[in-house]
A and B are shown apart, each in its own frame.
Chain A
């Protein structure tokens, strides 16, 4: 282990325990610039917890998390976001009482303090940026709709769009296709392949078909530890992985 790394994100010896139960145990995980990493694993493997730890929602009990070579453990959530990490939640997390346009506008990474928000101007540039993202996430025709009227899949896209407009260097997606129809899944895979061209992405997913359609490198998590790591083909033929998934 070196103190200085070339990795975008480096987790080293990360441990977290809830009342003695170690949900994540001495985990090492490295993400390269421009890499797409899929994390899979059975229920309770600690996948979501890993994302929670990276984005500061849960505090680590031990270990270090470095982003662009800087320690981010102990930072507040919004500070971590401002460093360039975006996070999508498992269930779509959008502002139902606002329109699609407003949802996206609020996610633009400017005017983030009280004064800035108070005197924020909806400039030509802002509108253009919102339109551009809305086209990417297939919601251009829905801009003036209240977000609560969107379908489940559209809500997922909206949340992805809200992250894109932040333009993070690392994007973390927790089950982005959960609850989507087959055609929506295909469109989402297309969207993701578009997104990853410019940034690093961590995806948690159960759906193996979907994983195959996007995956480059896969990490298998089991009981808070890394069970296997490698490309899709290696993983699918790993006997340990088979055992975990098919039962003992």
Chain B
């Protein structure tokens, strides 16, 4: 059999790796969601997106710390409070960034890329100065620990399931916002034709600012989820930006469904490959695969064909 594993073993391996991949998938989706709505609407790549995620992670860490110290009785629910805090703080930071930096750089996408990279350096150093260079982790509340046995060889981590559920809810909420709310309508109008939307009385500047804030806020929530599967350090976010961007591009920058699908594909292939190869080689293969696919379909997988 393949590499000395029996068929049944292979099945279990794939199932286990698939679940492991689903947690990575959750972080990818949340990160990519924020990056995609920003990129889709403004053509801006926020290179500091990973740092906004880590900002959310630090907020989660602080919230858990406060709960532990002052209201230990309420600790089981700290995560929900932490999520809200992460969303608000990262979102507010995003709004401020848009106002101070991004709005001066419209129509200069490459320069925005460099400027937000500079922002990411500043944020990293700020994290280091405030929270220290050491990585921090949060303690999971009791109910999230442990694993559910599915069969006698396959187990599923509860916190992983929880993060996934959370991701689905947030994705659904964003979809609702985009396709049912007034803001969503305005966003879609601006994406389709910025000049016309402006002429039709949409305050495109305001829509941009809200979009940027929302995208960063979602990154903050991704940070909350991140604390459950990894430890938080000043530079942890930097590792995610390239992957996340590839997820966005691969899915086609303006397609929500495409983003989710490509996050799934990339996280699953990485996770499955990881079992057979070393982690780093799996990463290399995944990246090369995505680059190769992008050459075949430069506009991404899910893109409407329109007259330019």
Contact = CB atoms under 8 A, between A and B. Distances in A.
Interface in A1-57: 18-19, 23, 48-49, 52
Per DSSP, chain B at the interface is: loop
Q: How large is the interface on B (under 10, 10 to 19, 20 to 34, 35 or more residues)?
A: under 10
Nearest to B306: A18
B289 to A, nearest CB: 27
Contacts of B307: 18, 23, 48-49, 52, 58
B182 interface: no
B304 interface: yes
B128 to A, nearest CB: 42
Nearest to A23: B307
A19 B304 CA distance: 7
A49 B305 CA distance: 14
Interface residues of A, number: 7
A49 B306 CA distance: 11
A48 B305 CA distance: 16
A48 B308 CA distance: 11
Contacts of A23: 307
A19 B305 CA distance: 6
Contacts of A49: 307
Contacts of A48: 307
B177 to A, nearest CB: 25
Contacts of A58: 307
B179 to A, nearest CB: 19
Which of B304, B305, B307 has most A Cβ within 10 Å? B307
Contacts of B305: 18-19
A52 B307 CA distance: 9
Nearest to A20: B305
A19 B302 CA distance: 12
Interface string A128-164: 0000000000000000000000000000000000000
Nearest to A16: B307
Contacts of B304: 18-19
A73 B305 CA distance: 19
Interface in B289-308: 304-307
Interface string B18-41: 000000000000000000000000
A54 to B, nearest CB: 14
Nearest to A17: B305
Contacts of B306: 18-19
Nearest to B304: A19
A58 B308 CA distance: 9
A45 to B, nearest CB: 13
Interface of A: 18-19, 23, 48-49, 52, 58
12 contacts: A18-B304, A18-B305, A18-B306, A18-B307, A19-B304, A19-B305, A19-B306, A23-B307, A48-B307, A49-B307, A52-B307, A58-B307
Pairs A-B, 6 closest by C-beta atoms: A18-B305, A19-B305, A18-B306, A19-B304, A18-B307, A49-B307
Given A23-B307, A49-B307, 10 more contacts: A18-B304, A18-B305, A18-B306, A18-B307, A19-B304, A19-B305, A19-B306, A48-B307, A52-B307, A58-B307
